[in-house]
Amino acid sequence: MRILLVEDELKMARALRRGLEQDGHAVDLAGDGDDALSRAVENDYDAIVLDIMLPGRDGFSVCRELRSHGGWAPVLMLTARDGVEDRIRGLDAGADDYLIKPFAFGELLARLRALVRRGATERPAVLTVGDVVLDPAAHSVSRGGELVALSAREFALLEFLMRHPGEVVSRMRILEHVWDYDYGGLSNVVDVYVGYVRRKLEQPFGRPLIRTVRGVGYSLEPS
């Protein structure tokens, strides 16, 4: 398995990494929440071991953001406190299971195995906004029951807008989520791709879908 290990305490992180590697896994280590989130969004991990208390963005926020980006790798949260509130917050943020520190390493392995076995049950559901239906697993989009072929980037743009229906999202935010963090290409790339999506999902149907909010960004508002 390829595992993302998110833990800022170096001694703990090293010990966990060594153990996971000895168990035959490939391990990427992130020491803070922002690094964890960008790695988790960019890579396809089989499981994520996520400490709650992290510098910057905490584990709850990492998990919530990951899920809102359509990342569905199983997440095992590590909490130093055994407070029930942390566990509830973790599960509400989209974690699949949690482990209270200190724990036996064998238990961590067993829980990871169980999560990965469970796997597909937590996959993203089909997104529906108005008469537009997007299936992230099948990578298909339809409007009014008619299938529409989109390129990978058009699909990612539409998926992001569909995860924030009726919300005005800025070009910068779209750029960060749909393109790479340090995208250095055309500054109007978002507008260009919104145009492509409109050509495929508005014009043939004669109904609006994406509203332009001048000076701000875009909002998905199907009629």
In angstroms, give the least distance from the CB of 109 to Ca ion.
20
Between 17 and 200, whose beta carbon lies closer to Ca ion?
17
Query: In this chain, which residue has its C-beta nearest to Ca ion?
Result: 53
Between 3 and 49, whose beta carbon lies closer to Ca ion?
49
- DSSP code per residue over 70-128: T----EEEEESS--HHHHHHHHHTT-SEEEESS--HHHHHHHHHHHHHHGGGGPPPPEE
For residues 45-74, b (16+ Cβ closer than 10 Å) or e, as one string? bbbbbbbbbbeebbbbbbbbbbbebbbbbb
In angstroms, give the least distance from the CB of 52 to Ca ion.
7
In angstroms, give the least distance from the CB of 51 to Ca ion.
4
- DSSP code per residue over 139-174: TEEEETTEEE---HHHHHHHHHHHTSTT--EEHHHH
Amino acid identity for residue 158 in this structure: L
In angstroms, give the least distance from the CB of 57 to Ca ion.
12
In angstroms, give the least distance from the CB of 77 to Ca ion.
11
Between 12 and 41, whose beta carbon lies closer to Ca ion?
12
Q: Whole-angstrom Cα distance, residue 223 to residue 221? A: 6
Q: Whole-angstrom Cα distance, residue 29 to residue 8? A: 9
Which residues contact Ca ion (rule: CB under 5 A)? 8, 51, 53
Between 101 and 164, whose beta carbon lies closer to Ca ion?
101
Q: Whole-angstrom Cα distance, residue 156 to residue 186? A: 18
In angstroms, give the least distance from the CB of 194 to Ca ion.
40
Q: Whole-angstrom Cα distance, residue 103 to residue 89? A: 20
Between 56 and 124, whose beta carbon lies closer to Ca ion?
56
Between 8 and 191, whose beta carbon lies closer to Ca ion?
8
Amino acid identity for residue 103 in this structure: F
What the block records as the tokens of 21 is 């590697």
